[in-house]
Amino acid sequence: MRAWVVRTPGRIEQVELPVPRPAADELLVRVRACGVCRTDLHVRDGDLPPHRTPVVPGHEVVGEVVAAGPETQGPALGTRVGVPWLRRTCGRCKYCVRGQENLCPSSEYTGWDADGGYAEYVTVPAAYAYELPAGYSDEELAPLLCAGIIGYRALRRADLPPGGRLGIYGFGGSAHLTAQVALAQGAVVHVLTRSAAARELALQLGAASAGGAYDRPPEPLDAAILFAPAGELVPVALEALDAGGTLSIAGIYLSDIPALHYERHLFRERTLRSVTANTRDDGREFLATAAEHRIRATVTPYPFDRADAALDDLAADRVNGVAVLTMPR
């Protein structure tokens, strides 16, 4: 099969690999589409330490089940499924037992610990594959599988009150999906981002305002989510919070955070929270929300053979919405 691999930081190359064989509890999935996530960029560039070398990136995979190991109990052959970032957890540690499997110290991740979806085929443990909502194309579904799910968890971690005022810093693939969930829940959304095209998209989707990344929102925020991997925006977002507000940091990677001033940034019970991966329940809840509310995924398709260009464009902020690799049918 054709696949793209990362061998050394900063470079991705197309190679021929054997079609993987599913383990006893795994599915073999023929890839139809795979989202291009900023985490893939961190894997390519070495911002995340290599867990497997070489590795096939990609963890927003939509495909068709074509084979299954003997211990799987579904889904059936021919079913369209999603292959996400969270690949496997131990199921026994204190975090797994108490419903925080995203913190499992033995957790494994698609496209980092195991080969992912920048390939014609991928394997996934059947218990970690998602059933997908109807009414979406493969390309529209791909970004939901990481950008959508992690944004949903970040929104939950932000403790936005009903009808509250949410600030979103950075407005790429995950943020533009999360904004739609918040709007569907009745929130007032203010977007702060350096991209003029992203500000325009935010207003089209229903944001109450869209300003520059360092601008002050027009009203104090009950909650905020930082999607941009820019630590220098942490004090900016904290200062924009109302008393009792929460800032949730959605990314797996963040540049260094400057020194915080206690009174300006944290006093009056402002809270700063990180987000670490997601649980399968997060994914199921978000996909159920996507089935109930039509979420518009703004997609820029790239043919499979241009995965390198898609990553370069993402790094240079030339992608509006989410880049998605498409497989020839």
Query: pLDDT, tens digit, for every residue of 283-320?
Result: 999 999 999 999 989 899 999 999 999 999 999 988 87
Exposure string over 146-177, b if 16+ CB within 10 A, otherwise e: bbbbbbbbbbbbbebeeebbbbbbbbbbbbbb
For residue 321, pLDDT over 80 is answered with: no
Burial class (CB within 10 angstroms; exposed 0-12, middle 13-18, buried 19+) of 143:
buried
Compute the distance between CA of residue 54 and CA of residue 277 in angstroms, rounded to an integer: 22
Structure tokens at 159: 């403790």
137 alpha carbon, distance to own chain's centre:
18
pLDDT tens across 196-252, in order?
A: 989 999 999 999 999 999 999 999 999 999 999 999 999 999 999 999 999 999 988
Mean pLDDT for all residues in the chain: 96
State the pLDDT confidence band at 322, using cuts at 50, 70 and 90. confident
pLDDT at 172 over 90: no
Closest to 254 (Cα-Cα) out of 19, 47, 108:
47
- The whole-number average pLDDT for the span 3-15 is 96
- State the Cα–Cα distance between residues 42 and 46, nearest whole angstrom: 6
Could you tell me the sign of the dihedral formed by the alpha carbons of 112, 113, 117, 119, in that order?
Answer: positive
Q: Which pLDDT does position 57 carry in this prediction?
A: 98
